[in-house]
Amino acid sequence: MFSLVSHSSLFSAWASGIATGMGLFAVVGAQSAFILRQGLMRAHLTSVLLICALIDAVFILASVWGLQAVTARLPGLSQAILWFGVSFLLWYAFQSARRALTHTGGLVAAQQAVPSRRGALLGAAGFSLLNPHFWLDMMVVGSLADRFEEARMGFAVGALTASIVWLAILGTGSRLFAPLFSNPRAWRVLDGIIAVIMVCLALGLAYKGV
């Protein structure tokens, strides 16, 4: 009977973790836009997806194990991440806007401008760890997991499952849409949209930080 109840509780926690994770992660934010562009350029996409999944796994588990206690002891950490994030997003918005204004080729030109693997991995890490929304999501995951008590790790695994599913959707989607971006105009539109998204996110974060 105990085993049956335990398995039922774990499944319930896991399902709740998936639902919560999809609600939190399945948005077109800074990280999603970066992954889509890397995928469309066919530039180190697998490495980018792996590093994003690894970061999500580490911090989802850490949030369940007490990340809130760490940020409570270091109140300045949240502010530092916020303003680093604002600066990072504005810098990337500037780069995207410049590409939107100067693109002269389609997919071939984009592939010629592919950053190194190291640069792609640093970008993926930056869009995760320097994004205050990422930390807020982790706090939410940790808080909700506590409600499941002994089954909270099931919730964490569910949230991680949602993260992996969303990353897989982004990776697959970028591959499917790559042929459309043989047109230079499509790249200019994409980079223009990314620039607007980054600026809006940065301004929203800055407004909250004032």
Residue pLDDT, tens place only, 60-100: 988 888 765 666 676 676 677 678 778 878 887 888 888 78
CA atoms within 13 A on the CB side of 96: 23
The CA–CA distances, whole Å, from 21 to 47, 113, 145, 171, 192 equal: 22, 34, 11, 18, 28
Other C-beta atoms lying within 10 Å of the C-beta of residue 96: 23
Low-confidence ranges of the chain (pLDDT < 70): 1-6, 28, 67-72, 74-75, 77-78, 81, 103-115, 182, 208-210
Question: Is the CB of residue 142 less than 8 Å from the CB of residue 64?
Answer: yes
- Name the pTM for this structure: 0.73
Q: Cα separation of 128 and 34, whole Å?
A: 10
User: Which residues lie below 8 Å from residue 22, measured CB to CB, with a gap of 6+?
Assistant: 162, 165, 166
